[in-house]
Amino acid sequence: MCGIIGFAGRQDQAAPILLDGLERMEYRGYDSAGIAVRSETRGLQVRKTKGRLRALSDLTRGGADLEGVLGIGHTRWATHGEPNDVNAHPHVSENGSIALVHNGIIENYLELKEHLMKLGVNFASDTDSEVVAQLLEYHYNECHNMLEAVGRVLRRIEGSYAFGIVCSDYPNALIAARKDSPLILGKGENGNFIASDVTAIIKYARDVIYMEDGEIAVVTPNSIDVFDDELIPVDKKHNIVDWDVSAAEKGGYAHFMFKEILEQPEAIRKTISPRIRDGRIVLDDITLTTEYARKISRIYMVACGSAYHAGIVGKYVWEQLLRRPVEVVLASEFRYSEPLVDGNTLVITISQSGETLDTMAALREAKRLGGRTLAICNVVGSSIAREADDVLYTWAGPEIAVATSKGYSTQLAALDLVGLYLADLLGTVEQSEYDAVLAELQILPEKMERYLKDFQDTQYFASRYFNHNSVFYIGRNLDYAMGLEGSLKLKEISYIHSEAYASGELKHGTISLIEPGTLVVALGTYGPLFDKAMSNVVEVKARGAEVLAVTTEGFREKMAKTADAVVAVPDTHPILQPSLGIVPLQLFAYYVALQRGCDIDKPRNLAKSVTVE
């Protein structure tokens, strides 16, 4: 959601570094931004403004207007209070001595605000975050020790938070605290950092410490000290991040999303290859044994958004391979639905960021109920990865575009791997089938590359159809699961209303919406049900629909007899087909959004990594 950065430097000016870090994290929120920098001569200088980071950069002349080597910055995705200059962070306490940036939601802020107002405190903004800045000043005035004051405040607030704090009485120190919101500490050559995300600081620091819930850190140019909620020092492990800096940069592409779509073959290769040895899947990183697998009576896949859609693909694949029931549940529903989890339940949480609050809460609920948890996650050391019993990382590298592409496709690859692995443990898959799926999985990246060498037809169809106001995606079985993701891609970045339906369900209601000219994206990549998919194409054509079909090279000719436009991807094993079929759907959404002049990497109202409920 919001992005936080803090820098305690030795000599380098903080403001340009903070702006650079915020730019790399802008995908976390982009309705307003601000920085606070402290210097001996000018004290605490705060600049904040509504709008994109560019506006803040212009306002501060790229940071040149602020002097000082210590500061904090924030890019906001509004929850409490409209996005405007005043509600932008940092928030400053009434006497101007404390500035704070916050990611998360303070649930009891109204009660605290009323209390402080009764004491005569005046508030400038409508935010829950300002309440914390004011409360800090109040407690600091009581104890004159910032660490102690932070400890007292944390005991009074409820909700989720990552804080970055500067206080004019502490010229060399930043204070950070976290609960249910990501925050890392980075040890750099020329100073130390706090940040919501590694991508913000990777250019400056690769040695990072992941903060745990309830911890408080004091960060100076030469030291990082972490304390627990009783203010007792904690020994923290350092982790070296090996992400390539260029992976988090656009590298000449117009949009991160386009770059990330093209990176998919490599991301899948990295996710799969190290885990296949001598024709067998070897999952060193997880500890699922045959004995445990035999005990599994129920499997849940729990996630949000595209990761949830990956789960739906996973359900079809796993049920075929494992012959065990798999339930896919939205994380936001799971946690409040009294899920039927016990010691024999395997709960798979799927999350690119590893910080999605709903998924995190679902994971905790599953653990509380005694279930065993396995996270499929892209960010090493993220909260979900750390709390799950087992974690299988997808190696997609940093994903910056708000709309996921390589995050999703590596989730599919990971689910295929684990599904096949478990089926092998359980003996529910024939050796020949195991070999066939595995062989195709290994050459999936090449097949994807083949499609990505020439996708002009997809680009052309986007320019033909970009003016439609409503689009239906239809398909059966795995094509339906893939359609859900294709439809989400289109709506989130192009703002065109679209829905995905299981084709067989159309005539139970939705077909009444099909009228001459309605665009239907018909998915016919799943071989076993191709003929049924064709019947549905005929059905919507008969009602006047314009049909853009996505199928495989093997079915292209048949499909072209009925559909108005056809895009074909290479053929693979039926259960892996969504990994290829999704690519033209991503590109179609991308080019439609481009034609419509949308802000592709930062769609309106959205932010990556949803760390609020």
Distance CA 449, CA 443 (A): 10
Contact between residue 59 and residue 12 where contact means Cβ atoms under 8 Å apart: no
CA angle 275, 581, 417 (to 5 degrees): 20
CB of 306 to ligand F6R, least distance (A): 3
Q: Is 413 helix (H, G, I), strand (E, B) or coil?
A: helix
CA 537 vs. chain centroid, Å, equals 34
CB of 309 to ligand F6R, least distance (A): 8
Contact between residue 419 and residue 429 where contact means Cβ atoms under 8 Å apart: no
CB of 130 to ligand F6R, least distance (A): 27
CB of 356 to ligand F6R, least distance (A): 3
Residues that bind ligand F6R (CB under 6 A): 304-307, 351-353, 356, 359, 403-404, 407, 488, 492, 609-610
CB of 593 to ligand F6R, least distance (A): 12
How far does the chain reach from its first CA to its final CA, in angstroms?
A: 11
Tokens of 258: 């386009």
Please tell me what DSSP assigns to residue 212: P
The answer to whether residue 608 is catalytic is yes
Of 48, 489, 602, 608, the active-site residue reads 608
28 versus 139: smaller Cβ distance to ligand F6R: 28
Of 2, 167, 304, 377, the active-site residue reads 2
Distance CA 196, CA 186 (A): 11
Tokens of 91: 């928030």
123 versus 243: smaller Cβ distance to ligand F6R: 243
Q: Which of 522, 527, 524 is nearest to 501 (CA)?
A: 522
1 versus 173: smaller Cβ distance to ligand F6R: 1
Q: Which of 422, 388, 453, 418 is nearest to 310 (CA)?
A: 418
Distance CA 115, CA 127 (A): 15
69 versus 493: smaller Cβ distance to ligand F6R: 493
Cβ-closest position to ligand F6R? 305
Distance CA 486, CA 494 (A): 12
221 versus 354: smaller Cβ distance to ligand F6R: 354
Distance CA 360, CA 375 (A): 10
Tokens of 130: 């300002």
CA distances from 559 to 79, 107, 410, 564, 608 (A): 47, 54, 29, 9, 37
Tokens of 175: 């204070």
Tokens of 330: 């939205």
Distance CA 481, CA 485 (A): 7
CB of 456 to ligand F6R, least distance (A): 24
Contact between residue 568 and residue 555 where contact means Cβ atoms under 8 Å apart: yes
Distance CA 336, CA 46 (A): 41
146 versus 493: smaller Cβ distance to ligand F6R: 493
71 versus 305: smaller Cβ distance to ligand F6R: 305
CB of 399 to ligand F6R, least distance (A): 8
Q: Which of 194, 166, 210 is nearest to 6 (CA)?
A: 194
Please tell me what DSSP assigns to residue 607: -
Tokens of 43: 């004290």
Q: Partners of 104 in the beta sheet?
A: 161
305 versus 339: smaller Cβ distance to ligand F6R: 305
CB atoms within 10 A of CB 370: 11
Contact between residue 420 and residue 281 where contact means Cβ atoms under 8 Å apart: yes
**CA neighbours within 13 Å on the CB side: how many for 444?**
35
CB of 501 to ligand F6R, least distance (A): 19
CA distances from 554 to 204, 527, 548, 570 (A): 50, 9, 17, 8
Distance CA 8, CA 22 (A): 15
Distance CA 257, CA 405 (A): 7
CB of 413 to ligand F6R, least distance (A): 15
CB of 609 to ligand F6R, least distance (A): 6
The answer to whether residue 304 is catalytic is no
CB of 54 to ligand F6R, least distance (A): 23
Contact between residue 69 and residue 191 where contact means Cβ atoms under 8 Å apart: yes
429 versus 496: smaller Cβ distance to ligand F6R: 496
305 versus 371: smaller Cβ distance to ligand F6R: 305
113 versus 406: smaller Cβ distance to ligand F6R: 406
Catalytic residue annotation: 2, 608
